[in-house]
Structure 1
Amino acid sequence: MIKIYRKTATIKAEQFDGSDEMINKYHIEYDEAYTVPFRIEAIEGWIGVEGGDWIATGVHGEHWIIADVVFKQTYAELPVIPKEVADWIEKCKHDGTSVGDMLCSERRPEKMRDWMALTPGTYEFNQRKYKKHQELIARAWLDGFQMEEDK
């Protein structure tokens, strides 16, 4: 019986642009004799990499190439959230709080409540923003997240 699976690991990936910076960073070789002149040492050995392909890096520093169309169908960038939201998620996970209780408006810190639902400047409740941010936080809880850089 066929079952359906989803990927659970996160990866780091960068889209190859042919720049000298990326060639040096990934020790990419260039040889016009090959059909694909750029080559990178990957899990499978030396393989061709073209502009637009993605160079994925595993936890042990190993690389593999993913064609752009496959990458876009397979991977989604982790949500980007403010530090106070990240701190709240981590605290709730540490304390054994459920995802539902973590989202409960009476329990959330004030800065998180404001970020989730208020329109900056007017401080009016924004239902569309609230729904979007609720889903973003739930996704961050389940899949992991990136923290917003300080402004």
Structure 2
Amino acid sequence: MKVYCKQPFQAEQFDGSSKMVDKYELIDTGIILGTHSSPELYLTGSGKVDIGDWIATGIKGEHWAIEDDVFKKMYAELPVIPKYVSDWIEKCKNGGTSIGDMLCSERRPEKMRDWMSLAPGTYNFDQRRYSKCQELVARAWLDGYQVEEDK
């Protein structure tokens, strides 16, 4: 047996709004069966969707429902990194640099070194922050990332 990694996908938590019902073309079986006391919404091909469940969208635009507790146990958001970090990752990937060399302190741009190693608002080295940022950048390299919005 082989084990595979799932590719990133988008997911949105269902809030019960008409907007989301329309967006995902949910079917209200209560209306169809004439027993509409409280809506029972279904996502075509996926099953019942309750408020708080997640609706995932795959690369081909397909949708499937995931219960909230299952979603929280199985999935994590892509890391959020500053633009200059994403620029460095892309430069290294496109230039054939290994992940180890990309993380090498001597090779990284100064702004990225400071972001990874200095406690916010100080010039003091922060080992915990450094370790956390190294892991974050490695995850971004391997899994993909989101670019932090400008403040």
TM norm structure 2: 0.87
Q: Deviations over 1:97-143 (max 9, x none)?
A: 01110011110011111110112322211111101000100111111
Equivalent residues, number: 146
Offset at 1:23?
A: 1.7
Is 2:14 the partner of 1:16? yes
| Distance in 1 (alpha carbons) for counterparts of 2:19 and 2:86 | 32
Offset at 1:76?
A: 1.1
| Distance in 1 (alpha carbons) for counterparts of 2:40 and 2:52 | 14
| Distance in 1 (alpha carbons) for counterparts of 2:5 and 2:68 | 18
Equivalent in the alignment of 2:43 = 40
| Distance in 2 (alpha carbons) for counterparts of 1:26 and 1:18 | 11
| Distance in 2 (alpha carbons) for counterparts of 1:94 and 1:62 | 31
Is 2:70 the partner of 1:67? no
Q: Deviations over 1:62-119 (max 9, x none)?
A: 1011111221222111111000001101110111101110011110011111110112
Is 2:23 the partner of 1:25? yes
Q: Secondary structure at the match of 1:139?
A: helix
Q: Which runs of 5+ in 2 are unaligned?
A: none
Equivalent in the alignment of 2:52 = 52
Is 2:151 the partner of 1:147? no
Equivalent in the alignment of 2:122 = 122
Q: Secondary structure at the match of 1:78?
A: coil
Amino acid at match of 2:5: K
Q: Secondary structure at the match of 1:69?
A: helix
| Distance in 1 (alpha carbons) for counterparts of 2:39 and 2:98 | 50
Q: Secondary structure at the match of 2:142?
A: helix
TM norm structure 1: 0.87
Amino acid at match of 2:19: E
The answer on whether the counterparts of 1:80 and 1:146 sit within 8 Å (CA) in structure 2 is: yes
Q: Which runs of 5+ in 1 are unaligned?
A: none
Amino acid at match of 1:70: V
